[in-house]
Amino acid sequence: MTNTPAGAVRTGRQGAVAWITLNRPDSLNAINDDVRQQLPRALRAADEDTEVRAIVVAGAGPRAFCVGADIKAFGDPPSPAGYRQSRARGHWIAAFDEARKPLIAAIHGYCLGGGLEIALACDIRIAADDATFALPEVSRGTMPGAGGTQRLARVIGLGRALDMLLSAESIDAAEAHRIGLVSRLVSPEGLRAAAQKLAERIAAHAPIAVAFAKEAMRKGTGPDFEAGMKLETDLLAILLTTEDRKEAGAAFREKRAPVFKGK
């Protein structure tokens, strides 16, 4: 793969470790159409690079890994049929599931909504102790749409996942580590080195063995994952057309609390 210093997603390689960095620090690495297009391409390029044996996903800037979808970029929601058709052509998050090489999320600062879904789509999550995690979508009249409803429960268990999902409350890095959302905690200044060290350790192992072991564990723990992803898509398609979803957008623009009516 080649280094890409500019754009919404920056790529580089350090030895056998590819680094893919969300590169919108002024927007706290919020996910817009550029990210949705460039991130899958970067992942596939790294996965196909014979000199790469492990991949780290990170966020640029000091404040956030990723705060999720760029709300400022929201337009009129598509119809349920239109949303389903767009997802049928391929969801950008699918590139994570297709990757055969191990994916490590190096998380600092805010890791919210779609940002947490990116982290969940990785195989291993390392967090700086300043990290904050949340799935706030229901407070905005919507729901996770990039696998959050499917992956979170598989990682931390159904009860804890429903608590996070339905309360929309944030948790700090210590709590995320306690419940198993992240496997390692480090200082913010040590995050990059820790992620690189772990990736190098994995990269030193037999690559086919690593790929097969990853495939066996991921597929063995989620036999109904694809069906769950389809259900998530179908439900979100309906939610995007509700009055509550429109109210959430208006409240955000007007900087006020939303008034939900269940319609």
Amino acid, single-letter form, for residue 142: T
Q: Which of 48, 117, 200, 226 is catalytic?
A: 117
Using the 8-state DSSP alphabet, how is residue 4 labeled? B
Structure tokens at 15: 């030895």
E-assigned strand segments in the chain: 9-14, 17-22, 54-59, 64-66, 103-107, 110-112, 124-128, 132-134, 171-172, 184-186
Strand partners, 103: 55
- Assess whether 137 carries a catalytic annotation: yes
**What's the order of all strands across the beta sheet hosting 171-172?**
64-66, 110-112, 132-134, 171-172
Angle, helix 80-88 to helix 225-239, in steps of 10 degrees: 150
Q: Which of 48, 51, 98, 137 is catalytic?
A: 137
Report whether 115 contacts 206 (CB < 8 A).
no
Give the integer Cα–Cα distance in Å for 182 and 55: 17
Sign of CA dihedral 218, 69, 158, 195: positive
Report whether 19 contacts 11 (CB < 8 A).
yes
- Assess whether 117 carries a catalytic annotation: yes
Number of residues in the chain: 263
Q: Could you give phi then psi for residue 107, rounded to 5 degrees?
A: -110, 130
Give the integer Cα–Cα distance in Å for 211 and 202: 11
Q: Cβ atoms within 10 A of the Cβ of 34, count? A: 15
Active site residues per annotation: 117, 137
